[in-house]
Amino acid sequence: MSRDDTPQVIIVGSGINSLVCAALLATRGKSVLVLERNDRFGGCIRTEELFPGYQHEVLSSWYPLFVGSPAYAELRPLLEKQGLQFLQNDYATGLVRPDGTGIALKQGLDEAHRRIAEVSPSDAAALQAMAQQIFGADAALTFGLLGQNPYGLGILKLLFSEWRQRGLDGLLDFARGALEPFRRWAERSLESDDMRAMMAPWVLHSGLGPDDATSALIGKLTFAAVVAGGMPVVRGGGTQLVQALQRVIEHHGGRLLANVAVERVVTEGAGRQTRATGVIAGGRTFLARETVVCNVTPQQLYTGLLPGVSAVVRERAAAYRYGRGGMQIHFALNAPPDWCEPELAQVPLVHLTESLEQVCASVTEANNGWLPARPTLAVGQPVAVDPSRAPAGGWILWVQMQELPRRLKGDAAGQIAIPADGEWNAAVREAMADRVQARLEAVMPGLGKRLIGRRAYSPADLEHLNPNLVGGDIYSGSCSPDQFFWLRPFAGAEGARGHRTPVRNVFHIGASTHPGPGLGAGSGWLVAQALARR
């Protein structure tokens, strides 16, 4: 292989962080090569025709984080030139209870304030104050912490600036609020059970539960961002975003190869002088002139790809913890469901739960290995935003649960037989899907009569689709305070901190790294900035 054929940067894995990192580097003049072990690119972005004419998002679906990201701001003209289009309607989110009562919120903070005031004027005022705090007084600090390299000079400048404005007491007060559990904040700040139930499920979208530390900040931030900016989807399915990024990379001289499982990073030198020269995959060596970037879990990185690291680093990687399992169920319908509250048919993502307390109870059941009796359902309706996903008159329900055990010990309802080995199998998966469908029937009478097809994916199925989803953890690691921000995936281990590894030109990106999970491509952006600042 000649030097001209050798890329400057090799990226292992092709999730959104990898593709964004590669696209940014390529457009900034770097030569890049993306290597993917699966037969397709995209990681957790996977659009499939599960039933004739129905385009289902098998894993991720919604893009508020990406649309608001600095990566999209830079790449947007190039992606739109490739035909990429994001769509959204006037609605943001909603709540439905099994008793048939529900509420839908339109996009926009003012509109949400008006609708919530109809339910509880005091809660409308509390949520307005919350939004003003998030997008006003705390905006620079919150978004600065999440959007910068936690070990960079920019963080020190940010903290110094905020210290001058707030003083030490003000910074400590921010830290207190950032560490508070959601339930404690909601019981203090919200008066109605409706609003507590409306907001509580959004905590689950970070892998936390309402009783966990930091869940108040995450829950408030996520809910406010969705209400303010809506729930955009990619026209035609998320694979259109993957293909647009692929074309941008290739147009700027980059390459992508599928069905290439990287086995090891090749290094030379010793101690602090160790550097990577490429990777080995399938007995073939791919050389890199400058850098190797790995979008994998800490265990995959430090016990497989980089086996020569110290015992301390390997121990920290082995101690990295994963959260609860996720599950998805996809319904193809011949007509829109007959919602108990008709307006909910226009809402992109509706949460179904009885209460804040029920969300907490289901999380506790899952944490202890039990299938929840009344799981919280995130009911997505992509056709409400993008009619091209289904045949004329058809409908899709994208149902996600985020409070399931990775390993099974029992069923809280006492109805589903648990295998002796505690592993998920097809029987448990389909029995859980039946429970979910019955739960949906309570708020969508006659759902079964409109059903064309149903496809369920258990936590074990999700891990099979993407090995970064260990045990079906769709967030690739718990976002508890000991594994977040400065400490994600871990710190204090001989140079392995943030996106840096003990090998000076090997970088770590993906949901297991700062700023964590989601489709914001934050780690891909940050590493691209480090390697080739715009």
3-state secondary structure 239-265: HHHHHHHHHHHHHCCCEEECCCCEEEE
pLDDT tens for each residue of 132-185: 999 998 989 988 888 888 888 888 999 999 999 999 999 999 999 999 999 999
Q: Where are the alpha helices (DSSP H) in 120-261?
A: 121-132, 139-147, 153-179, 182-189, 193-203, 215-229, 239-251
Phi-psi region of 28 (alpha: psi -120 to 50; beta: other; left: phi over 0): alpha
Which pLDDT value is given to residue 149? 87
Q: Any residues with CB less than 8 A from the CB of 440 and at least 6 apart, and which?
A: 337, 352, 377, 379, 397, 399, 447
Which pLDDT value is given to residue 5? 79
| Dist. CA 20–CA 28, nearest whole Å | 12
Residue pair 463/476 in contact (Cβ under 8 Å)? The answer is no
Query: Which residue matches tokens 């770097």?
Result: 30
Which pLDDT value is given to residue 145? 87
| Dist. CA 175–CA 354, nearest whole Å | 31
Which pLDDT value is given to residue 3? 42
- pTM of the entire structure? 0.94
Query: Which residue matches tokens 């430090």?
Result: 302
- Where are the domains positioned within the chain? 3-45+238-320+478-531, 109-196
pLDDT tens for each residue of 396-409: 999 999 999 999 99
Residue pair 46/57 in contact (Cβ under 8 Å)? The answer is yes
Instruction: For residue 29, give the H/E element and its range.
Output: none
Q: Is 191 helix (H, G, I), strand (E, B) or coil?
A: coil
- Provide the residue type at 388 as one letter: S
Which pLDDT value is given to residue 2? 36
Q: Any residues with CB less than 8 A from the CB of 48 and at least 6 apart, and which?
A: 55, 56, 58
- Estimate the crossing angle of helix 153-179 against helix 139-147, to 10 degrees: 120
Kindly give the parts of the chain with pLDDT less than 50.
1-3
Domain 3-45+238-320+478-531 architecture = 3-Layer(bba) Sandwich (3.50)
The β-bridge relationship of strands 291-295 and 506-509 is parallel
Residue pair 344/94 in contact (Cβ under 8 Å)? The answer is yes
Which pLDDT value is given to residue 376? 98
